[in-house]
Amino acid sequence: MAPREDVDHTVIFHDDVAQANKIGVAVEEVAATRISEADMMRKSAEALTLKSKTGLYIFGYMLVMGCNQAGFGIDWGVISGINSNDRWHDFYGFGNAGVIISTINALMQIGGFLGAPFLSCADVLGRRGVNFLGNALVIIAAIMQAMAPNLACLFIGRLVLGFGTALCTAPQYVAELAPVHLRGRLVGVFGACFQVGSLMMIGIMMGLTNWDSDWQWRMAFFIQAIFPLFVCVTIYFLCPESPRFLYMRGKKEEARRVVARYMTTDNDINHEIVDLMILQIEESIETTKAGFRATWDFRVFFTKAVWFRTVVLAVYAVFQQWNGGGIIGYYLAPALDTIGITSQLDQLGISLGSTAIYFVFTLFGSYIIDYFRRRTLIFAGLISMICAQIAVTITSWQYNLSEQKTTAILTVVWIYLFQVCSATFIATMHNLYPVELLSLPLRAKGMGLFAMFQAIAAVVHNYGIGIGVGKVGYKIWAVYIVYNFIQIIISYYVFPETSKLNLEEIDTIFETPGGKPVKLSIKIADAKREKAKLDRQNGVSQL
């Protein structure tokens, strides 16, 4: 983008975009003339060599946070796998589809809804403190579910599990602590750890199928406690507190030490990247329009300055829950029943393959996320998932007509293709995009609000799909197709671009008076891309 000749192109750090406009500085140029994300990534890469002590420190906190995510993935593996277990159904007296299994799944989300407001305690207890508390509750919930003598106790265990899971702040923590040039990939690897837990659990459940006892399913619930226990034991030894939290609490020197230790090779507190990171944190705190700082005060999300972020969070939460992944995760057993695959071992094997594919392509997605814009990935994901869902619907329909084994196999292939598309284009976004939307003072409470939106969307989904798949069979896929078509339109008008903008700079998009966030985000992204191109041509690196 060529510089406009009718405005001053001074590089400024402003606390009011309206003021920038008054003095003649174009908003998109303000963002473009500041240090670009490309420059930040380059300076971050220059500051850090992974083959060093710092690399080991990063591995340490990623191991703990990965176990955090794997613990969540285990529940997905447990519920998906155990829903194929006749002993479990016989013990409690219900089928693999219908109201009871829907309630079991929904109660975790209801617990998440109830626990989400407490996520704002991360601004008081710290990211680690809330994470520790959440994992401790998950351990208690795992024991309650494993030993539940009746459905009432099982229901309470699911509720406690959801409450504890809501307090796990790992995505926010990883995004705040990761070096700039590694942020997308580390968040992607973190997300892939979900499948590690699922893979482990499904594999164990396959091995337990020959155990002729109720311990076949009770043991699965006990195993849910392994990863949370590891997190509770190690989090205060291997994980530092977030520098953003430390700075907000007035511990500025400690924040600098954490940045130096985890973002520079030589633990150099005077390195340029330390100053830049602290400046970003400081500027975010000073420029935010958020006026409500009380832990329980969520009114800020419904003010004029912040309401559009709230809308984006709500829409993205629904998109995450309703795009079609839920039926593969929680209701794969009844879905496979509709194409004649009813053996517990066969269903577990297909689930294992599906999870393995998702794991591999989530890692691939974490690699490519920094090469494409966020909106591009969202649209590519939606379109490709729709194609896969149409294919699943057609082959399931053909099986319903002829019951040929070939069409059943093809249906499984299309389900796997859906997993490839979802993992490649969308999976990493789920742990990165919501965090990118929120400025620092809004982040803890914002992620709590996002978790509440997720819980509401998941409860509606679990009841709708859990009951629907038992009543309409394969036709349930058509519901996802229609929804995803609608989501494409909504995404075009609602989801702003955040790629190549730092976590604090995005405030400009949402807080420009009279601005349209989506259009403005695209303008700024284009301006920054053009500036980076000109800098490369001129051999200039501008601070």
Q: Which amino acid is at 472?
A: V
pLDDT at 23: 34
Task: Specify the residue for token string 């293709």.
Answer: 417
Q: Which amino acid is at 539?
A: G
- Three-class HEC string of 7-47: CCCCCCCCCCHHHHHHCCCCHHHHHHHCCCHHHHHHHHHHH
pLDDT at 357: 92
Q: At what angle do helices 99-115 and 440-472 cross, to 10 degrees?
A: 170
pLDDT at 24: 39
Q: What's the CA angle centered on 481, arms 375 and 417, to 5 degrees?
A: 75
Q: What is the pLDDT of residues 136-155, one digit of tens each?
A: 999 999 999 999 999 999 99
Report how far Cα 270 is from the mean position of its chain's Cα atoms: 33
Classify residue 270 as exposed, middle or buried by CB count within 10 Å of its CB (0-12, 13-18, 19+): exposed
Number of CB atoms found within 10 A of residue 530's CB: 13
pLDDT at 10: 33
pLDDT at 537: 74
The dihedral region occupied by 49, where left means phi > 0, alpha psi between -120 and 50, and beta the remainder, is beta
- DSSP labels for 443-509? HHHHHHHHHHHHHHHHHHHHHHHHHHHHHHGGGHHHHHHHHHHHHHHHHHHH----TTS-TTTTHHH
pLDDT at 35: 62
pTM of the model: 0.74
Query: Tell me: domain 44-239+301-494, CATH 3.40.50.720, correct?
Result: no
CB 31 within 8 A of CB 528: yes
Instruction: Give the separation between CA 306 and CA 231, rounded to whole angstroms.
Output: 34
Helices and strands (H, E) in the chain, number of each type: 26, 0
pLDDT at 295: 55
Q: What does the block give as tokens for 96?
A: 């693999």
Instruction: Give the separation between CA 536 and CA 532, rounded to whole angstroms.
Output: 6
The CATH 1.20.1250.20 portion of the chain extends over: 44-239+301-494
Can you tell me whether residue 339 is helix, strand or coil? Answer: coil
Positions in the chain whose pLDDT score sits under 70: 1-38, 169, 284-297, 440, 502-505, 539-543
